[in-house]
Chain A
């Protein structure tokens, strides 16, 4: 299995072996959490960034943190330019703007104002 360390981006091929003595490991979905020698790591299967649609990357914009949707600025089929704010997620008195990664057209908006979202939930898909 090819795995990616989520903190540093380091990728490596790894065979499943018994956890080393002293390690504490747990799984949450496709993320493995490992505590080993005073450090905590998060790893998940490394994915190809290409999509079924053939080459071109289709950015799906995900929630950077769990929270509440404070505002939805994007509308389906609207043209947006790079850096434009699409959605604002709010948690613990902090707001975080999710911006368009490039010029393009919004394909779908999957959330509405006031909704609660989890970390990594897809908020907006761009064509």
Chain B
């Protein structure tokens, strides 16, 4: 406890549910928490929960939650001794971590060098390979004038024979292409399909799946062109394409005394457009033996970069049991609660203790329950999952045995277009996976969110789908499932709607089409005009 006091007041440099989560942990630890808010968040939940709150700027994140000078000023102004970044925003900014330290405050997160080492996919991959952590076999193809010319020739002049062209292209690669020993010929030897992606890119930009040697050369050339246009760097990356892998990630923790431990894995294979929607702990596919191998690999990864505090090492797991390093997230994850529930630990409390210099305590080695989390988003599944904004007319959270809700909203609050549309994370715990799943389905049904369309109903239908219920998951599953369509309302709902519409129209005067509630957008209309 004495060590913890070194942190002093903690500035929580975030918003929404994660800001509330961190504020609660600080208060539990006996540390005062200071919230920050933009003009869009004056009445937000995290502001109400904190011991003090500082306005840091207008609604756009660039001028508020992403502004290092404003956050530091807020911390100084309130006499904070430490900063917790949450996830998203500046949580993976080594520059912010350094600025906090330079200002004489404690950064509740990993050392900036470790953040930088894992920040670039290429350098992270190289470090992992050197540390003996399995990586997806692949090769880096670096830009070179000579290559550009020859590629053009091969694609224009040798159509139908590109297989040979690809092979010759491979042989032109330097034997040790800088950071990578593997070259394209080793990719060809892996067999197809392979995936070609821009090294500087993210979010699938420029990514191509290549199913045969004949199309490889062309795919590399066009990916390179796109990468150059989009990121100013034509370095591309060819790797083995894993067709239906699971996304398995390991929660790790390091302390300043050199101890690194891996708790358990989370499975996050249920994703929509690379966005996780359901996460669970443990994974139905991970045996104790595999868990041990994943733990060792994750700890190796963390040690290789001198990691301290909470982090997550992501892997792709093939049906064969082979797994490959994907990336490391140098922060607390959105889905950390499933680990907390399954293992009975408080990861944010641990983050505070580790940041204060305390050694890691003994942690449980096996999960004692199964936990599943659903991310409730303000988005409309019936309209292409478009993000929604507006005012929550009603918001009632589920409760009951084995349930936990981490939310950032309350009734009457606006859901703002400037930020991530995550409303809440609903976490259910059970003695086994099926009990957790059933509790989660019931909890999603119990949740009332009126005024803003959400994915609640879609999440329920997803959790009820056969492969999901059976735990037969892979990262492409959500896209291939055809979920039952929503059912039309029963008569009672038509009557209730008719009643609420006629009652309100009678009282609101001549224009029934006018919004009865103040539009959350009115303020921004003025802004746009200014």
Interface set of A (CB-CB < 8 Å, partner B): 1, 3, 5-8, 10, 12, 14-20, 23-30, 32-45, 64-68, 91-92, 94, 96, 114-119, 121
Contacts and interface: CB of A to CB of B under 8 A. Distances in A.
A92 B421 contact: yes
Contact of A40 (B391, B456, B488, B498): B456
B445 interface: yes
Contacts, number: 185
A14 B497 contact: yes
Contact of B386 (A28, A94, A118): A94
Given A36-B492, A38-B445, A116-B528, A16 B503 contact: yes
A40 to B, nearest CB: 6
Given A19-B499, A23-B496, A91 B389 contact: yes
Interface in B166-206: none
A36 B491 CA distance: 11
16 contacts: A3-B497, A5-B493, A7-B382, A8-B489, A14-B497, A16-B501, A24-B394, A30-B512, A32-B498, A33-B394, A34-B496, A44-B501, A67-B417, A68-B528, A115-B525, A116-B521
B498 A15 contact: yes
Given A68-B417, A116-B521, A10 B498 contact: no
Contact of A19 (B380, B454, B456, B496): B496
B497 A34 contact: yes
Contacts of A37: 490
B492 A23 contact: yes
A40 B502 contact: no
B448 A27 contact: no
B520 to A, nearest CB: 8
B449 interface: yes
A1 B390 CA distance: 26
A36 B512 contact: no
B229 interface: no
Given A27-B500, A40-B457, 9 more contacts: A8-B488, A20-B496, A29-B514, A34-B489, A40-B450, A64-B383, A65-B380, A92-B417, A118-B389
B487 interface: yes
Indicate the size class of the contact surface on chain B: 35 or more
Nearest to A19: B496
Given A8-B486, A33-B450, A66 B498 contact: no
A116 B525 contact: yes
Nearest to A90: B417
Interface in B405-444: 417, 419-421
B499 A18 contact: yes
Given A35-B394, A40-B450, A66-B521, A8 B387 contact: no
Nearest to B453: A42
Contact of A20 (B492, B515, B525): B492
Contact of B417 (A3, A96, A116): A116
A33 B393 contact: yes
Contacts of A64: 383, 386
A25 B419 CA distance: 27
A16 B417 contact: no
A53 to B, nearest CB: 19
A14 B396 CA distance: 27
B41 to A, nearest CB: 16
A27 to B, nearest CB: 4
A7 B519 contact: no
Contacts of A119: 388-390
B527 interface: yes
Contacts of B513: 29-30
A26 B451 CA distance: 8
B500 A25 contact: yes
Contacts of B495: 14-20
A15 B497 CA distance: 9
Interface in B500-526: 500-504, 512-517, 519-521, 524-525
Contacts of A28: 390-391, 393, 451, 515-517
B489 A5 contact: yes
A41 B448 contact: no
B485 interface: yes
Closest 7 CB pairs of A and B: A38-B445, A32-B497, A116-B524, A14-B494, A10-B488, A33-B450, A26-B393
Contacts of A1: 498, 501-502
A32 B419 CA distance: 26
Contacts of A35: 394, 448-450
B22 to A, nearest CB: 22
B48 to A, nearest CB: 23
A44 B513 CA distance: 10
A72 to B, nearest CB: 13
B446 interface: yes
B493 A23 contact: yes
Contacts of A23: 492-493, 496
A14 B394 CA distance: 23
